[in-house]
Chain A
Amino acid sequence: MFEQQVIPLDSWVSQFVDWLVNNYRDIFQSIKWPVEQTLNGFDAGLNALHPLIIIVLVVLTAWRFSGYKLAVFSAVTMVFIGLLGLWRESMTTLAMVLSSVLFCTIAGVPLGIAAGRSDRFEAGIRPVLDAMQTTPAFVYLVPIVMLFSVGNVAGVLATIIFALPPIIRLTSLGIRGVHPELVEAAQAFGATRTQVLIKVQVPLALPTILAGLNQTIMMALSMVVIAALIGAGGLGSPVILGLNTLDIGRAVVGGLGIVLMAIVLDRITQSMANKKS
């Protein structure tokens, strides 16, 4: 029955994206600029440092927040990544993850706080977050490429879209999880709305917010391969290259690098969250 009556949504979307590209290219280029600067900064910095310094920094962080076990594990894993011949790629990936997580935090924590304090805002933002998490990344890769062209920056932007929801959700959850009597007590002693937020809600929500940060980092890492499809470098590119040339060995090595990196980042950020709670 639907042969004749089809809503031409596809052509509307195409027209809309074309219209955006033609008329608002400048605006999108200006969005691109800070992301590009941050990413290039991280990338240059991480690749300029001697691998040993980076390993030491990672190990110290692990030791500070967890203990010697995680420190030893991180050291072994990082050395292993280097021995796999993936050092440069892993630093590029780390730079992309750090930049996307930075922007996710800058945008996500305030949005999450707003959602935590206002039921209305929460109700409004929830479907948007659902859409961001469930829309297959391939759907928005094309418009992103059209608007921002291929490369690492487009990869980071796609990653931001995918990795933003958990930090918003968990920040909101954390704010809502603060015992109402504590908020009441602060108010009873004359706290303003801002003081309630800064002195009570945010400090008490911090472990949950850090759990959100951890999730955002994991989501960002899971986008590495997809980002490589639109020309982003890093650990995703050997995987894509291996797939395209049926070079199984190469794809597996790249994949292993992603997994190892994910484990190190996950353990370190989780121990940060635990330390705070």
Chain B
Amino acid sequence: MEKIRVENLSKIFGSNPPKALRMLEKGFTKSEILEETGMTVGVNNASFEVMSGEIFVVMGLSGSGKSTIVRMLNRLIEPSAGKVIVDGQDVTAMTEDELVKFRLHNMSMVFQSFALMPHQTVLDNAAFGMELAGIDKDKRRERAKEALAQVGLSGWEDSYPAQLSGGMQQRVGLARGLAVDPDILLMDEAFSALDPLIRTEMQDELLKLQEEHKRTIVFISHDLDEALRIGDRIAIMDGGSVIQVGTPEDILQNPANDYVRAFFRGVDPTNVISAGDIARDTIPTFVLTKEGSLRTTLELLSGSDRDFGVVLDARHRYLGLVSTDSVRDAMEAGQKGLKQAFLEDVTAVNMQDSMQEVLPFLASKGWPVPVVDDGNEYKGVVSRNRFLRTLHRTEEQLDQ
């Protein structure tokens, strides 16, 4: 379900935005406008949708307009043109009072520099949004305490932000954002100021929180690894424009232009592309019946000239992998059931596992790796051939 819709959003910094907008329409570039009028195009005609409950990462280098875009979502920066629609409500048309209410209840924000109030305790910082909303002291402190516990900061309530490390300060920032229980969380380079180890830890924390309670998160980042790690979908920005929106796999496999390609160069595709993305139903499947049917299986396998077959139960759940050899061996040993022909040491991988995680299984054994979902339902196999072809194609895409 669509949560936020951004329509043709633009921001011009300078004395006469309408003039710059007209020039943009006529096809002038950002640098031409800057040279001629001294005005800066922050964001140029951006459109995208953010779905309910997803982590939507807006990624770009500094100066690409990503921080401006996120600030236009809650109108900390007033858009020059275009619309922001949240739950069908036009944020850009709100009056000052409506906007204050909207910010109090629907959207909260986490900042790169933490932006904690240095004169308030950790607890009061976490309760800040509720204090503004006029929630009484006991109630807001109780909820702030819960929020602090959620981010693992119990026991630090009475400290001041300056006494905390950077990572802990940002946990307070996160708790402050969560305490008001918003449906939308805006995170502006929230983890960029943290050192790499803490950053990864915070990303995990965010994913964990997201698992417990799905919020719509718009996450600004200049760090590709971060975007790939936490983003359900990514929007890539350059020079104020949105170049491409899609899932990490989409973008990696079909980069829109050289800029995007350059961005992804150096990324190991095996980290991004998941087993589910490349799993194909290329080998025969057999449903395990009571009697089993070693002979039929062997005939079917040899008939279709395949070495392997997957055995499923009646509800399409994965049971095991057989090969022509294993079936023949089982027959010769006088076994009856298909179960006795299962290859040993076959591990099915989850469809969300990355290619990286599939690789060891593929490398050590001669057979394709079965892929299943969380409910053990069979989704296909990843063969060596398929794996290598994907790798080759992605690299070709990025190297163009």
Contacts and interface: CB of A to CB of B under 8 A. Distances in A.
- Indicate, yes or no, whether A interacts with B: yes
Given A182-B117, A203-B119, A189 B129 contact: yes
Given A182-B115, A185-B109, A188-B109, A195 B103 contact: no
Given A199-B131, A200-B117, A203-B119, A189 B104 contact: yes
A181 B113 contact: yes
A234 B113 CA distance: 53
Contact of A190 (B100, B176, B186): B100
B128 interface: yes
Interface in B230-276: none
B196 to A, nearest CB: 23
Contacts of B111: 181, 184-185
B128 A204 contact: no
A59 to B, nearest CB: 29
Contacts, number: 55
A188 B67 CA distance: 14
Interface string B88-119: 00000000000011111101110101011111
Nearest to A192: B100
Interface size for chain A: under 10, 10 to 19, 20 to 34, or 35 or more residues? Answer: 10 to 19
Nearest to B109: A188
B119 A190 contact: no
A191 interface: yes
B74 A188 contact: yes
A145 interface: no
Given A181-B113, A185-B115, A190 B131 contact: no
A190 B103 contact: yes
Contact of B103 (A189, A199, A200, A203): A189
A190 B104 contact: yes
B330 interface: no
A274 interface: no
B76 A189 contact: no
Interface residues of B, number: 26
Contact of B132 (A179, A182, A195, A204): A195
A200 B129 CA distance: 13
B132 A186 contact: yes
A119 to B, nearest CB: 15
B133 interface: yes
A188 B131 contact: no
A189 B132 contact: yes
B59 interface: no
Contacts of B43: none
B180 interface: yes
Interface in A178-222: 179, 181-182, 184-192, 195, 199-200, 203-204
A256 B362 CA distance: 93
A195 B132 CA distance: 7
A190 B94 CA distance: 13
A190 B129 CA distance: 7
Contacts of B113: 179, 181
A181 B103 contact: no
Nearest to A182: B115
Contacts of A185: 109, 111, 115-116
A189 B185 CA distance: 11
B117 A189 contact: no
Among B103, B115, B128, chain A packs the most CB atoms within 10 A around the CB of B115
Contacts of B186: 188
Contacts of B102: 190
A14 B66 CA distance: 63
B109 A189 contact: yes
Contacts of A203: 119
25 contacts: A181-B115, A185-B115, A186-B128, A186-B132, A187-B103, A188-B74, A188-B107, A188-B109, A188-B186, A189-B103, A189-B108, A189-B109, A189-B132, A189-B176, A189-B180, A190-B100, A190-B103, A190-B104, A190-B129, A190-B132, A190-B133, A191-B100, A191-B132, A199-B131, A200-B117
Interface of B: 74, 76, 100-105, 107-109, 111, 113, 115-119, 128-129, 131-133, 176, 180, 186
Given A185-B115, A189-B109, A190-B133, 11 more contacts: A182-B115, A186-B128, A187-B76, A188-B186, A190-B101, A190-B104, A190-B105, A190-B129, A190-B132, A191-B132, A199-B131
Closest 10 CB pairs of A and B: A190-B104, A190-B103, A185-B115, A188-B109, A189-B129, A181-B115, A203-B119, A190-B100, A191-B132, A181-B113
